[in-house]
Structure 1
Amino acid sequence: MKEITSAQNSLIRQLVQLKDKSRERKKTGTFLIEGIREVTLAIKGGYEVETVLFYPDLFPAESLDGLIPETVNPIAVSKDVYEKLAYRSTTEGLLAVAKAKENKLSNLRFKNDNPLILVAEAPEKPGNIGAILRTADAAHVDAVIIANPKTDLYNPNIIRSSVGCVFTNQIATGTTTEIITFLKTNKINIYSAILQESVAYHTQDYTKPTAIVVGTEATGLSDEWRNHATKNIIIPMQGEIDSMNVSVAAGILIFEAKRQRKFS
């Protein structure tokens, strides 16, 4: 079994770049995964793992049996090397390099003709994106679509904050215009969460093909969504403010749709 003990090793230097720089992830088409659950979910989600590294004091070599593909030769690393690559302060001793998927709208496949989709326009904070993906996983939506993404999906902060749900959801990205065209072409109703010209969210029927669309707390959704919505919807607010965290809003709306669908 190969072992790397120097943080100056060329592979390790490359992986540090992969961890820290979106540009490197896009150039190589690969990204770094940290954690047992995250690596397991990535493999289960059909991601191709190229390299596995582990720190034996935290993750014994025998624990790899049955966890990673037999075609992957694991690499043992020293404490210094692992700490150079690890993103979290509390960690489990396991890292993997995987190939990114092409998150194209044209790649989306629905299991039936009545999909439930969550769309988020221009989310900026990785923590919010991770929370949205956790909500989508919990509700088992058919797809998550990110409009006008501000960061790449394989940012370590997104992987961490989503607790691996970036691998459990079917995800696509595109511009707002591309996504609206895709939804209308596939006869999917658009419910845009927006303040203007809106009705209370619980008055609408989400049992037909549905896309729930949410925007950022700071700017909300663009006018394009308001103009092309089947209906603009609002969560009635009873406090002093007129907005809430985007992942919380997404959860309220998506689970109302699931309730109407009898959680099917």
Structure 2
Amino acid sequence: MQNHKEITSVGNALVKKAVLLREKSRERKKSGFFIMEGKREIQLALKSDYQIDTLFYRPELLGEIELKELTSVSQHPPSLISVSEEVYKKIAYRETTEGIIALVRHKNHTLEGFSIKNENPLILVAEAPEKPGNIGALLRTADAANLDGVIIANPKTDIYNPNIIRSSVGCVFSNQIAMGSTTEIIDFLKQKKIDIYCAALTASINYSTADFTKSAAIVVGTEATGLSTEWLENSSQNIIIPMQGEIDSMNVSVSAGILIFEAKRQRGF
């Protein structure tokens, strides 16, 4: 196993870098790195071929065997740095801890790198999602349904925001994710001959009567504004979940879950 280093000062340059990566989206984009916390999240990242540069760990909470198990599958063994309790608390963003934080390299999330392997793919598209909790829930649902991928249109929030990683329970790593403008994504879907099903209130049919058995992208917008006109003008079919109460919309992650699992039901899963 590689040699361990030790950091006990919160003034250490690497500690300051980790804090900036936790707090500043601009720093994450500029450096190409982000930080994440937790054993399961690290395992999912490694399984999905993310490159972990550095592991900060509390030796009182994480033994040699656990540390070795976490790093054994990595093609590029990370630097291992034991840190004091004070340093760990400085870097950590969770109130509870498992004693390990990783410094990780970004992946490329362009549409050009979005791989469609299935003959009839099922994709989730979310336009301009902003709340980390909603994004995390969407990614958890996509993982649970084993979708072919998630595409975020006009992103407003950094996908490696620690709150997205936490709320997705690491599903930010297990899903294939791409980002682009609404125009770029519509062009991409049409080029791939993927039907566009927009969740909308107007010109819609009951979601349960739509045919999701062929290549399909389920497109959802924000609760506040819904989908932009550009999506509605390019929709193959607008779909709606009938409401029986006083309101006309649900949380975006709940709506997406209903639509996705109806599509999976139709596909025999």
TM-score (norm 2): 0.96
2:63 counterpart letter in structure 1: P
- Listed as ranges, the matches of 1:1-264 within 5 Å are 1-68=4-71, 69=74, 71-263=77-269
**Partners of 1:115 and 1:252 in 2: how far apart?**
18
Please report how far the alpha carbon of residue 62 of structure 1 lies from its aligned counterpart in structure 2 after TM superposition.
2.9
Please report how far the alpha carbon of residue 60 of structure 1 lies from its aligned counterpart in structure 2 after TM superposition.
2.0
**Partners of 1:234 and 1:71 in 2: how far apart?**
48
Identity over aligned pairs, percent: 63
Superposed structure 1 runs of 4+ greater than 4 Å apart: none
**Partners of 2:216 and 2:256 in 1: how far apart?**
13
**Partners of 2:6 and 2:144 in 1: how far apart?**
39
**Partners of 1:227 and 1:110 in 2: how far apart?**
25
**Partners of 1:258 and 1:40 in 2: how far apart?**
27
1:238 counterpart letter in structure 2: Q
Deviations 1:159-210 (A, max 9, x none): 0000000000000000001000000000000000000111110111000000
Aligned residues: 263
Q: Which runs of 5+ in 1 are unaligned?
A: none
Please report how far the alpha carbon of residue 57 of structure 1 lies from its aligned counterpart in structure 2 after TM superposition.
1.6
2:183 counterpart letter in structure 1: T
Please report how far the alpha carbon of residue 73 of structure 1 lies from its aligned counterpart in structure 2 after TM superposition.
2.6
**Partners of 2:70 and 2:108 in 1: how far apart?**
24
1:16 counterpart letter in structure 2: V
SS at match of 1:149: coil
Deviations 1:93-149 (A, max 9, x none): 111111111100110112222100000000010000000000000000001000000
**Partners of 1:73 and 1:145 in 2: how far apart?**
33
**Partners of 2:79 and 2:222 in 1: how far apart?**
43
SS at match of 2:70: coil
